[in-house]
Amino acid sequence: MEPVNSAPSNALKVPPDESGQRLDLFLAGQNLNLTRSRIQNLIRQGRVLVDGARVKPNFKVKPNQIIRIEIPAPQISKIQPEKIPLDIVYEDKDLLVVNKPAGMVTHPAAGNRSGTLVNALLYHCRNLSGIGGVARPGIVHRLDKDTSGLLLVAKNDSAHLKLSRQLQDKSLFREYAAVVWGKMPQKKGTIDAPIGRKPTDRKKMSVTAVASRIAVTEYEVKESFRPCELLSIRLKTGRTHQIRVHLAYWGHPVTGDPEYGGRSKWINNLKSSAERNQAEEILKLISRQALHARKIGFIHPATGQYTEFESRIPLDMQELLAYLRR
């Protein structure tokens, strides 16, 4: 980064060796304590100007261009701390690893202003990183409401930035356990299919070539049963609903998933009444998608040491697996 002479601290001059790089990537490497997604939002809001002009995040920078960045003052969070029990797997001055139960929303949003993980975190520790914005303090990544398992939370901006970079460069390790319908085509495999918003329902995701992003999921069959299989899944990318969308796309939706074909849709497609009856018995044991974030591994932002944590499969999935094994 080359500061502009006598210019304010939020003005940068593009050096010759950075020519041709995307604007958002260039700024992400300038030690601004901003995540790439935050930088992209600032660019879209017109708070980043290149030689005085608004540009897009994918704009290619050129030598000696002057980039001015307006970073809004932090807003005061209106989220109320709530005394909600937390299953904390690990905690230090920089971060927490929390085991989120199924049914808990990660952060406040429309329709879920209270009772979220963030409400509970703010009661437990008042200081969380602000990089994610006022609605998502400390949240490095998310889990769907009805997906259980391990979540990483940052207590300060420096830790959040370093952990987010691991998420972006795919070095942050995440492994899930999932029970799916049917038999996977191979014992091990990779699902490589782009994911974007479903054109007919913007609340859902789908495999599509339109306005989509690369999505890669690796799986391994751990146990096979007559109607289902237990998979170990590793994420190579982190798209919204990625595991659920990819497995449904392959014709093996997560058991119990109401949004992506794992409940009534699966039962309706079964040919025999015996198969339908068996599927109905299975679904009585699980009221949500049978998906659990079982392991998480990362380079600790302060110590530089690789750290890994594991969470037991929760009771509802244990009961489902016990039934399938019988």
Residue 195 lies in domain:
175-291
Closest C-alpha among 236, 112, 245, 111 to residue 178: 245
Domain end, chosen from 169, 187, 216, is at 169
Question: Could you tell me the two tokens for 325?
Answer: 């094994």
CATH number at residue 94: 3.30.2350.10
Domain end, chosen from 117, 149, 169, is at 169
What's the pLDDT score for residue 227?
Answer: 94
Residues 183 and 202 placed together within one structural domain of the fold: yes
Q: Which residues pair with 191 in a beta bridge?
A: 217
Q: What angle do CA 315, 265, 233 make, to 5 degrees?
A: 45
Residues 158 and 244 placed together within one structural domain of the fold: no
CB atoms within 10 A of CB 225: 15
- Domain presence at residue 279: yes
Q: Tell me the pLDDT tens digit for each residue of 52-68.
A: 999 999 999 999 999 99
Residues 27 and 87 placed together within one structural domain of the fold: no
Question: Could you tell me the two tokens for 260?
Answer: 């992506």
Distance between first and last Cα of the chain: 63
Domain end, chosen from 129, 148, 169, is at 169
CB atoms within 10 A of CB 188: 10
Whole-number Å distance between alpha carbons of 287 and 16: 57
Domain count for the chain: 3
Residues 92 and 47 placed together within one structural domain of the fold: no
CATH number at residue 42: 3.10.290.10
Closest C-alpha among 126, 250, 136, 119 to residue 182: 250
Max Cα–Cα distance, the chain, nearest Å = 79
Name the residues annotated as catalytic.
144
- Domain presence at residue 152: yes
- Domain presence at residue 23: yes
In terms of Cβ atoms closer than 10 Å to its own Cβ (0-12, 13-18, 19+), residue 13 is: middle
**Residue ranges of the chain with per-residue pLDDT less than 50:** 1-9
Check: CB of residue 212 under 8 Å from CB of residue 162. Answer: no
Residues 272 and 242 placed together within one structural domain of the fold: yes
- Domain presence at residue 261: yes
Closest C-alpha among 269, 317, 311 to residue 293: 311
| DSSP-derived secondary structure letter, 326 | -
- Domain presence at residue 48: yes
Whole-number Å distance between alpha carbons of 191 and 249: 9
Residues 227 and 129 placed together within one structural domain of the fold: no
- Domain presence at residue 86: yes
- Domain presence at residue 325: no
Residues 148 and 242 placed together within one structural domain of the fold: no
- Domain presence at residue 298: no
Q: Would you give the distance in Å from CA 204 to the centre of its chain?
A: 15
Residues 90 and 117 placed together within one structural domain of the fold: yes
Closest C-alpha among 220, 257, 225 to residue 322: 225
What's the pLDDT score for residue 145?
Answer: 95
Residues 277 and 190 placed together within one structural domain of the fold: yes
Residues 272 and 189 placed together within one structural domain of the fold: yes
Residues 80 and 64 placed together within one structural domain of the fold: no
Q: How many helices (H) and strands (E) does the chain have?
A: 8, 16
Residues 286 and 192 placed together within one structural domain of the fold: yes
Whole-number Å distance between alpha carbons of 11 and 6: 10
Alpha-carbon torsion (206, 150, 162, 82), positive or negative: positive
Check: CB of residue 69 under 8 Å from CB of residue 55. Answer: no
